[in-house]
């Protein structure tokens, strides 16, 4: 298929073309950069929402419920599930994809699992590029579900406009998370399984860590996101979100991070989460932060593409590899070091392509 036809079919919602385009990008197959380059002007419609948290936090269930709520509002939804495959088990750490079945047959929903093992272009980069393809295909919302077991998974979260950090009361992860400096990636905090013991305490600890200490500030959070009008199912954790008087929406530029309670398995609190996502998008737009975040991502993306192109150039279009091979005996005998050889190679590159 000619590239113009491919882009047209992609934008027209052709699912097989979409699936092939994603595989092309994931596997760095010929023409993938040309494809990404040609869809670039069409990007920006989709809201990219990261959903991350430790294993066992119920992210898959929460994601599925959120898809249902977003569909009920009339949005089309793509889900990118980043499974950090264990090299030992060959299995996914994220758990049971089968629960997504309630939405998998909906033509307004597209679900794609991405394996992290052997990701040719780096997990975070590839995920961002796959999201571009989904954005070009016209989806209103892209949910990026990723389990936080490594730095690369955290980097995935940074590709979203809004990041939801999901914690659960029982494991003690919550409190540890507060100490670990990972809090900064969350725009919205969710205490899932909030009908279990310790949910209130975890929510309070998150709020304390966020600096939301006083009752006024807490009410402000709810008002800020228009959450005070919602009823969420009556669990102890979500009850807290409905107390207190309505307050006018603040126009200030500071984002007051909501701390929500959900019971994803029962669907409780998920509509409040959807509203909080709308609230964050509104805040991003009104303050200009959305443009700023997207510019930062564009800068990072371009840097990554330059690094990739530079490696391609160095190792496939110059004599760098041959130069190392020529010095291998000297390296093995200790007559020179990798650092000295690297300086020689770099000097060659700096003087032009004739290394």
Contact between 316 and a second copy per CB under 8 A: no
Shortest gap between Cβ of 37 and a second copy (angstroms)? 4
**Least distance to a second copy from the beta carbon of 353, Å?**
5
Our finding on whether 302 is near a second copy (CB under 8 A) is: yes
Instruction: Examine residue 51 and tell whether it contacts a second copy (CB under 8 A).
Output: no
Contact between 4 and a second copy by CB under 8 A: the answer reads no
User: Of the ranges 28-36, 60-68, 134-142, 216-224, which one interacts with a second copy (CB under 8 A)?
Assistant: 28-36
Tokens in use for 329? 């005996």
Residue numbers 237-266 binding a second copy by CB under 8 A: none
* Helix pair 289-317, 123-136: axis angle to 10 deg: 120
Helix H, strand E, coil C: the string for the chain is CCHHHHHHHHHCCCHHHHHHHHHHHHCCCCCHHHHHHHHHHHCCCCEEEEEEECCCCCHHHHHHHHHHHHHHCCCCEEEEEEECCCCCCCCCCCCCHHHHHHHHCCCCEEEEEEECCCCCCCHHHHHHHHHHHHHHCCCCEEEEEEECCCHHHHHHHCCCCEEEEEECCCCCHHHHHHHHCCHHHCCEEEECCCCCCCHHHHHHHHHHHHCCCCHHHHHHHHHHCCHHHCCCCCCHHHHHHHCCCCCCCCCCCCCCCCEEECEHHHCECHHHHHHHHHHHHHHHHHHCHHHHHHHHHHHHHHHHHHHHHHHHHHHHHCCHHHHHHHCHHHHHCCCCCHHHHHHHHHHHHHCCCCC
Q: How far is the CB of 78 from a second copy (least distance, A)?
A: 20
For a second copy, give the closer residue by CB, 182 or 247. Answer: 182
**Interface region with a second copy, contact rule CB under 8 A, candidates 69-77, 97-105, 138-146, 295-303:** 295-303
User: Which of residues 41 and 107 has its CB atom nearest to a second copy in the complex?
Assistant: 41
339 counts as binding a second copy under rule CB under 8 A: yes
Per CB under 8 A, contacts with a second copy among 164-223 are 172-173, 176-177, 179-182
Options 4, 41, 74, 197; binder of a second copy; rule CB under 8 A: 41
Q: Is 335 in the site for a second copy (CB under 8 A)?
A: yes
Residue 259 near residue 191, CB atoms below 8 Å: yes
319 binds a second copy (CB under 8 A): no
By the rule CB under 8 A, 341 interacts with a second copy? yes
Q: How many chain residues touch a second copy (CB under 8 A)? A: 82
Which of 1, 120, 208, 298 forms a contact with a second copy (CB under 8 A)? 298
Tell the smallest beta-carbon distance from residue 202 to a second copy (Å): 13
Quick one: which segment of 21-29, 67-75, 236-244, 293-301 binds a second copy (CB under 8 A)?
293-301
Q: Find where tokens 């004599």 sit.
A: 319
Residue number with CB closer to a second copy (90 or 107) = 90
Which tokens go with 54? Answer: 């430790």
| Binding mask of the shown chain, residues 80 to 119, with x at each position contacting a second copy by CB under 8 A | ----x-xxxxxx------------------------xxxx
Looking at beta carbons only, is 146 or 235 nearer to a second copy? 146
CB 277 to a second copy: min, Å: 22
Binders of a second copy in range 123-162 (CB under 8 A) = 148-154
């Amino acid at each position: 298929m000619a590239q113009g036809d491919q882009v047209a079919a992609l934008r027209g919602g052709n699912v097989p073309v979409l699936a092939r385009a994603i595989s092309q990008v994931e596997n760095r197959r010929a023409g993938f950069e040309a494809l990404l380059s040609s869809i670039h002007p069409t990007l920006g419609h989709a809201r990219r929402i990261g959903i991350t948290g430790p294993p066992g936090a119920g992210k898959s269930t929460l994601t599925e419920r959120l898809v249902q709520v977003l569909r009920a509002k009339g949005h089309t939804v793509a889900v990118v599930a980043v499974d950090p495959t264990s090299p030992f088990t060959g299995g996914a750490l994220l758990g049971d994809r089968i629960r997504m079945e309630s939405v998998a047959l909906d033509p307004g929903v597209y679900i794609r699992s991405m394996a992290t093992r052997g990701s040719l272009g780096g997990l975070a980069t590839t995920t961002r590029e796959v999201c571009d393809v989904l954005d070009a295909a016209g989806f209103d919302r892209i949910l990026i579900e990723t389990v936080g077991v490594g730095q690369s998974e955290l980097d995935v979260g940074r590709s979203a406009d809004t990041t939801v950090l999901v914690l659960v009361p029982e494991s003690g992860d919550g409190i540890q998370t507060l100490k670990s400096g990972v809090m900064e990636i969350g725009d919205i905090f969710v205490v899932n399984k909030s009908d279990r013991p310790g949910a209130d305490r975890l929510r309070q600890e998150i709020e304390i860590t966020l600096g939301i200490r006083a009752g006024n500030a807490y009410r402000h959070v709810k008002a800020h996101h228009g959450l005070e009008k919602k009823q969420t199912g009556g669990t102890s954790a979500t009850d807290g979100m409905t107390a207190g008087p309505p307050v006018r929406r603040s126009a200030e530029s500071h984002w007051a991070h909501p701390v929500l309670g959900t019971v994803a398995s029962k669907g409780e609190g998920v509509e409040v989460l959807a509203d909080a996502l709308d609230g964050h998008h509104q805040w991003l737009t009104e303050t200009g932060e959305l443009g700023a975040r997207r510019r930062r991502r564009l800068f990072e993306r371009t840097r990554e593409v330059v690094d990739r192109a530079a490696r391609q150039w160095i190792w496939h279009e110059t004599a760098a590899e041959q130069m190392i091979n020529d010095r291998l005996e000297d390296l093995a005998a200790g007559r020179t070091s990798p650092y000295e050889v690297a300086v020689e190679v770099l000097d060659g590159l700096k003087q032009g392509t004739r290394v």
